[in-house]
Structure 1
Amino acid sequence: MLTLASKLKRDDAVKSGHSNSATADSTRRVSIRDRLLVKGSAQKVAELETNLPNEGYYQSGKFQFEIDVPEAYNMVPPKVKCLTRIWHPNITETGEICLSLLREHSIDGTGWAPTRTLKDVVWGLNSLFTDLLNFDDPLNIEAAEHHLRDKDDFRCKVQDFIKQYAR
C-alpha cells in the first residue's frame, strides 16, 4: 500500500508537469484506478481479517490468492487465481476460480459491476469456503464427484491438502 501511495504522488506530479493531453488522460485513468484501490484499504483489510469464518471443510487452511487489477478497473473485474493447491469443487488444482462476481458477463446477473470493489472480491472468495461452496455446478468435477461419493473421504482429502499446501 505504501508503494501505491507513492505512485499516486508521482502521478500527481507528472500530471501537473505535462501539457500533452494524451499523457495526462492516461495518467488520470491509472490514477483513478489506483485511488479506488487505496481508498479505505487498511480499514477494509482489518475488517475482513476479523470476520473470516472458521468453520467448514477448509477452516484450518491458509490460502493465497493473486489478484491482478487491470487498467480498466472498476469497469472490468480483477483477475484472480488461487496460488495454494487445494481440493475444492469451485477451484481447480491449477488455481482457476469459479465465482460469478469475477465474470464480466454473468447469466445469473451476479457478475461484475462497476459498483463492486475488491472487498466484494475478497468476501466472495471467502464465501467459496463456506456458503458459496457449490458441488452442483463445479469447476473441479472430480472434487465435486468425490464429495457426492464419500463426504468423509472428501473431508480427509481436503485436510491432507491443507496439511501439505496450506499451513
Structure 2
Amino acid sequence: MITLTRKKKDASNSAADSSKRISIREFLLVKEVQELDQNLPNTCKITFQDPNVLSEFTLVITPNEGFWQGGRFKFVLFVPEEYNMAPPKVKCVTKLWHPNISVEGDICLSLLRLNSIDGLGWAPTRRLKDVIWGLNSLFTDLLNFEDPLNIEAAEQFARDKDKFQAKVREYVATYARR
C-alpha cells in the first residue's frame, strides 16, 4: 500500500532524477549536430562558441553563385527549449541588400514560421539541416521578389535590375567581405 509519506519520498527522488535528465531539445540536438557535418552545403559552415551549448551557434554562408557571390554572411541561430515543436530563431548579423532579409537581419523564410499561409511552415518533422539548407537557398533558388520582407529591395529589382545588383555589390563589398 502506498502512503502519503511514500509519495512525498518518490516526488523528491524524481525531482533529483529530473535534474540529471537530458531535455528532448538536447537529445535531438546531439543527434542532429552529428549529422550536420555530412549534410551541410559546401557554402555553409557552422561554429559553436561553446561546444557544450548546442542550442546556440553561428552559420556562415558564402554563396558561390548569384547576386551575393563573393560575400560572407553570418547568421546566429538559437534553438528554443520547445524545439522541435517550435522552429529555431535566426538572425542575420551581416548587413545585406536582399528582398527576403531585412537590413536589420530579420528573415522571411516559411519554414522559420510556426504558422505560414503557404503551408510550408515549421513542423516537428523538420530539422536544423532543413533550416540551414533553406537559408542557403535564399541566395539562389528560394530568392523571392514576390513576397518580400525588404520591399524597397524587391521594388528596386523590379524597376532596375542593374541598380539592384550595384547596391547588392556595394553591401557585399562594405559589410560581407570574406
Tell me whether the two structures share a fold, i.e. TM-score over 0.5: yes
* Among candidates 71, 77, 83, match of residue 73 of structure 1: 83
Aligned to 1:59: 69
Q: Distance in 2 between matches of 1:27 and 1:135?
A: 48
Residues 32-47 of structure 1 aligned to structure 2 (within 5 Å): 32-47=24-39
Between the two proteins, the alignment pairs up a number of residues equal to 149
TM-score normalised over the length of structure 2 = 0.76
* Larger Cα-atom Rg: 2
Cα distance, 1:26 vs structure 2: 6.7
Query: Unpaired runs of 5+ in structure 1?
Result: 1-17
Identical counterparts, % of pairs? 63
Question: Helix, strand or coil: the match of 1:61?
Answer: coil
Amino acid at match of 2:167: K
Which 5+ residue runs of structure 2 have no aligned equivalent? 1-10, 45-62
Q: 1:111-134: per-residue Cα shift (whole Å, max 9, x none)?
A: 000110111000000111111101
Distance 2:42 2:34 in 1: 13
Which piece of structure 1 moves more, 49-58 or 19-28?
Answer: 19-28
Aligned to 1:50: 42
Give every structure 1 segment of 4 or more consecutive aligned residues whose post-TM-superposition deviation is greater than 4 Å. 22-27
Aligned equivalent of 1:21, options 14, 19, 23: 14
Q: CA deviation at 1:156?
A: 1.1
Match of 1:142 in 2: 152
The residue type paired with residue 36 of structure 2 is K
Higher share of residues assigned helix:
1
Q: Distance in 2 between matches of 1:24 and 1:126?
A: 41
TM-score normalized by the length of structure 1: 0.80
Shift of 1:21: 3.0
Q: 1:39 to 1:145 in 2, by over 3 A?
A: same
- In structure 2, how many angstroms separate the alpha carbons of the residues matched to 1:80 and 1:63? 13
- 1:107 shift after superposition: 1.6
The match for 1:99 is 109
> Cα RMSD between the aligned structures?
2.1
More strand by share: 2
Match of 1:3 in 2: none
Partner AA of 2:42 in structure 1: T
Among candidates 123, 127, 137, match of residue 127 of structure 1: 137
Q: 1:135 to 1:19 in 2, by over 3 A?
A: same
1:30-58: per-residue Cα shift (whole Å, max 9, x none)? 53211211215244235414266521101
C-alpha separation in 1, matches of 2:16 and 2:140: 45
Partner of 2:53: none
**CA gap 1:24/1:166 in 2 versus in 1, 3 angstroms:** farther
Q: CA deviation at 1:88?
A: 0.3
Distance in 1 between the 2:16 and 2:115 partners? 31
- 1:154 to 2:164 alignment: yes
Aligned residue for 2:42, secondary structure, equals: helix
